[in-house]
Amino acid sequence: MLEEFGRPLEVQEVDLAEPKAGEVLVRLVACGVCHTDLYTASGADPSGYAPTVLGHEGAGVVETVGDGVTSLAVGDHVVTLFSPQCRECIHCLSDRTNLCLAIREQQNKGYLPDGSTRLSRSGEPIRHFMGTSTFAEYTVIPEIALAKVNREAPLDRACLFACGLSTGLGAAINTAAVQAGSTCVVFGAGMVGLGAVAGCRLQGAERIVCVDLSQQRLELARGQGATDCWPADEHTVERVLEATGGFGADYTFEATGLVAVMRQAVEAARMGWGLCTVAGVAGKGETLDVIPRLLITGRRVCGSSFGGVKGRDQVPELVELYLRGEIDVDPFISHRMPLEQVNRAFELMEAQDGIRSVLQLSA
């Protein structure tokens, strides 16, 4: 429970109401601890609120379904979706975006679609986080915010597809649509960056350069398909240009959230057709400074939310890639711990110790 910004989370019992129409009760088995959770807990997120139950990178088993739920049944294994897919709104019907509009307004306020919450304490409502609230043993989530996945997938691995891993994979596969034989540069080797490296490999990129400050993370990038691993410094752009005949990379990906690195990613993109995909989330009030000449000479910049992944349709497909051995998920899990150690997971994240801590919530 996030009681107050800037203070440690508190593990406590709260009341959870039964699901209403179009909602599902999920017994959570595992949940990754993502930087977005820490960002909100710190108070840096201008749209944050408290009290709330944080967590959004979850996976579990359906326990109960509300009236009108047709796509899920008791016993189904599911991955939570902070980016839902109603399959009916103008955005869901378009292949140009994954930003479903169906419940966006209420979700951003911390409410379920009917404008209320299922969480409470002593009769006082507690708001949901990103429509999911997965730092818990049980949660109630809209049907359209759950992806049914293969029961063969271990849920402590499947949970990573709820946010970071899918975001990186999708940035390369969906947003950038990397072409075979191309040269890619990925800035940042956290979860999103490593997912982008894997996505570039799956798309058939010929050269994949990963740039990061950590040698340990760069080794993980090599395991995901990076052909070149470079320590990050102020000369990275020049090094990319030198390695590409002075032109730049066909595709660049920014996965750090640092605006200075975003600028490097733009500058490292190829003259004529280079595409820079920004997947990192910058700090409050920060802006990206881009020289217009870089755009006039053919470079493009785009953003990527959840990797352009339409969750209910595509997360199960990504999980199948893992089950077929095309994505190696195990190296991403650095620490496993019970819910009671969630603040320890935040400390490890701030120390950049590992890639993902996974909370083990139930058997």
Tell me, yes or no, if 163 is annotated catalytic: yes
Catalytic residue among 57, 143, 254, 267: 57
Tell me, yes or no, if 36 is annotated catalytic: yes
Catalytic residue among 23, 31, 34, 270: 34
Catalytic residue among 31, 86, 200, 229: 86
Q: What would the two tokens of residue 71 be?
A: 């796509």
Catalytic residue among 23, 31, 36, 117: 36
Catalytic residue among 23, 31, 35, 200: 35
How far apart CA 74 and CA 62 sit, in angstroms, is 5
Catalytic residue among 23, 56, 132, 276: 56
Tell me, yes or no, if 104 is annotated catalytic: yes
Catalytic residue among 201, 263, 299, 356: 356
How far apart CA 354 and CA 336 sit, in angstroms, is 11
Tell me, yes or no, if 10 is annotated catalytic: no
Tell me, yes or no, if 184 is annotated catalytic: no
Catalytic residue among 23, 31, 52, 92: 92
How far apart CA 260 and CA 234 sit, in angstroms, is 10
Tell me, yes or no, if 56 is annotated catalytic: yes
Catalytic residue among 104, 207, 335, 344: 104
Q: Is residue 231 classed exposed, middle or buried when 0-12, 13-18 and 19+ CB atoms within 10 A define those classes?
A: exposed
**How does 257-266 read in b/e, with b if 16+ C-beta sit within 10 Å?**
bbbebbbbbb
**Which residue type does 281 have?**
V
List all residues 6 or more positions away from 235 whose beta carbon is below 8 Å from its beta carbon: none
From the CB of residue 123, how many other CB atoms can be counted at a distance below 10 Å?
6
Contact 224, 194 (CB under 8 A): yes
Catalytic residue among 23, 52, 80, 100: 100
Tell me, yes or no, if 57 is annotated catalytic: yes
Tell me, yes or no, if 200 is annotated catalytic: no
List active site positions.
Answer: 34-36, 56-57, 86, 89, 92, 100, 104, 163, 356
